[in-house]
Amino acid sequence: MPTLLMLFQLKPDQLEQVRRRIPEWTIVSARDSEITEEQYRDAEIVLGWDSAMTTSFDSAVNLKWVQTTSAGVDKLPLDRLRESGAALTSASGIHPISMTETLFAMLLAFSRNLHHAIRRQSDSEWRASERYSQLAGKTIGIVGVGAIGTEMARLAKAFGMTTLGVRKSARPVDVVDEMYGMDQLGDVLSRSDMVVNVLPYTEETHHIFNAEKFAAMKTDALFFNFGRGASVDTAALVAALEQGEIGGAGLDVFEEEPLPADHPLWPMDNVIITPHIGGWTDNYKALVTDIFLENLDAYLSTGQPTRNVVDLDRNY
């Protein structure tokens, strides 16, 4: 009897939708500590991922398909997945709205100095900031224009901003005023008042935002990272902020997570930090369920999932 291992906990009604599709399967849905090594080893389909699955992977001889619950897949053993022949699908497509709203929460906080006001409120201090700005008329550079970057550009246009985009293919997008290839990243950085990173993590994007890239930006530009932590050289970012090479940063992802309590980014008053929650939303499980059920239907019909299939030669 085939086994579905659910490392991501669905709500009862969502789990029932899964059961109706595979009534003859064994469905293992429990807390990680309750899942046995044998159940990890016997899984044909895995929803989610954890460290125990990584440990058991080499003995998981029945594994045919892994559905992740995140858009990024760089924390999985991709080389071993490629060698095994198992399919890998991501949850790409469920994050655009929540991540865009998180970005604009940060953008508006910076433009109206809300991050300073909140800190002063905690001290009962009535004091205005020296400078306030507005988003209208500013230029935003979005690096990695996929589904998330497109939604960010759409909302930026609604705020009256000029949108510049960078993507590997340089293929145009309606809501992006000017689209460029990766070889023109430096030009986009030099023109942008705000730079947003939403690149996936690959060998090519490792530390792509380094000292040279920060030096190319305007001295009052804001940098936002909603891509992957390792695409930014954190030491170079800290130096750029400390030396005034850029104006500030809004960061949701980091090279090291959790960010250490003694990290120099924490006390900076021109930095807004969120703990990798940019994609979270109260209907996250429902969105994951929709993707998983669509892929499960395809898998049962053809033996292969079809939505958000990861190219294991490109790692995204």
Nearest in space to 60 (alpha carbons), one of 75, 76, 39: 39
CA–CA gap between residue 69 and residue 210 (Å, rounded): 29
How far is Cα 59 from Cα 61, in angstroms, rounded to an integer? 6
Alpha helix (H) residue ranges in the chain: 12-21, 37-42, 51-56, 78-84, 96-111, 114-122, 147-158, 185-191, 211-216, 234-242, 284-302
Gap between the Cα atoms of 312 and 316, Å rounded: 7
Alpha-carbon gap, residue 110 to 108, rounded angstroms: 5
Distance CA 307, CA 93 (A): 10
Helix H or strand E encompassing 52: helix 51-56
Residue 243 is given by DSSP the state T
Helix axes 96-111, 147-158, angle to 10 degrees: 40
Nearest to 299 by CA among 50, 44, 73, 90: 44
Strand partners, 67: 47, 89
Whether 257 is a known active-site residue: answer yes
Is 276 noted as a catalytic residue in this protein? yes
Give me the torsion for CA of 200, 203, 207, 209, rounded to 10°.
Answer: -50
Give kind and range of the element (H or E) at residue 101: helix 96-111
Q: Which of 276, 294, 307, 314 is catalytic?
A: 276
257, 294, 307, 314: the catalytic one is 257
d(CA 229, CA 241) in angstroms, rounded, equals 17
Of 95, 115, 116, 228, which one is the catalytic site residue? 228
Question: Would residue 228 show up in a list of annotated catalytic residues for this protein?
Answer: yes
Residues marked active site are found at 228, 257, 276
